[in-house]
Amino acid sequence: MKRTDEKRLETLSPFEVKNTLIDLAQHSHEKTMINAGRGNPNWVATAPREAFFQLGMFALEESKSNFSGYEGFGGMGVQQDISLRFLQFCEKYEDQEGVQFLIEAFQFITDQYQVDGDALIYEWVEGILGNSYPVPDRMLKYSELIARKYIEQEMAGSQPLPAGKFDLFAVEGGTAAMVYIFNTLKSNRLLNPGDTIAIGAPIFTPYIEMPELEDYALNKVEIMADEASAWQIPDSELEKLNDPSVKAFFLVNPSNPASVRLSDETLYKIAEVANRRPDLILLTDDVYGTFADNFTSLAMLAPKNTILVYSYSKYFGATGWRLGVIGVHEDNNFDRMIRDLPEDTRSTLSQRYQGITLEPSKIKFIDRLVADSRAVALNHTAGLSTPQQIQMTMFSLLSLMKGGEEYKRLAKQIVRRRYHTLMQENLAAPIVAEGDQTGAFYYVEIDLKEIAQTIHSNDFFAWLEETYEPLDFLVRLAEEHGVIVMPGAGFDAPTWSLRVSLANLEEAQYANITKAMNEVMQSYVERYEAAC
**What whole-number percentage of the chain has pLDDT above 70?**
95
Taking CA atoms, 439 is separated from 37, 263, 266, in Å, by 19, 10, 15
Give the residue ranges of DSSP H helices in 318-403.
Answer: 333-339, 343-353, 365-372, 386-400
- % of the chain residues with pLDDT over 90: 85
CA distances from 179 to 207, 372, 374 (A): 10, 10, 12
Instruction: Evaluate the CA torsion angle 47, 48, 49, 53 in order and state its sign.
Output: positive
Query: If you write DSSP's letter for every residue of 221-241 in order, what string do you get?
Result: EEEE-BGGGTTBPPHHHHGGG
Q: Which residues pair with 325 in a beta bridge?
A: 170, 310
Q: How confident is the model at residue 480 (pLDDT cuts 50, 70, 90)?
A: very high
Q: State how far the Cα of 194 lies from the Cα of 39, in Å rounded to an integer.
A: 33
Backbone phi, psi, residue 497, to 5°: -145, 165
Element (DSSP H or E) covering residue 325 = strand 324-329
CA quadruple 366, 372, 373, 377: dihedral, nearest 10: 130
HSE-up (13 A, CA, CB side) for residue 357:
15
Residues 6+ apart with CB under 8 A from 368: 184, 187, 188, 338, 353
The single-letter DSSP state of residue 320 is G
Per-residue pLDDT for 18 more than 50? yes
Q: What is the pLDDT of residue 335?
A: 98
Element housing 444 (H / E) = strand 443-447
pLDDT of 409 > 70? The answer is yes
* Diameter over CA atoms, the chain: 88
pLDDT for residue 117: 98
Cβ neighbourhood burial of 23 (10 Å; 0-12, 13-18, 19+)? exposed
Buried-exposed string 430-455: b where 16+ CB fall within 10 A, e elsewhere: eebeeeeebbbbbbbbbbbbbbbbee
The overall average pLDDT reported for the chain is 93
Q: What confidence score (pLDDT) does residue 300 get?
A: 98
Strands 281-285 and 306-311: parallel
Position 430 pLDDT exceeds 60: no
pLDDT at 435 exceeding the cut of 50:
no
What is the pTM assigned to this prediction?
A: 0.94
79 backbone dihedrals φ, ψ, rounded to 5° = -75, -35
Half-sphere exposure for 209 (CA within 13 Å, toward CB) = 12
In whole angstroms, give the CA distance from residue 391 to residue 412.
22
- Quote the pLDDT of residue 425: 65
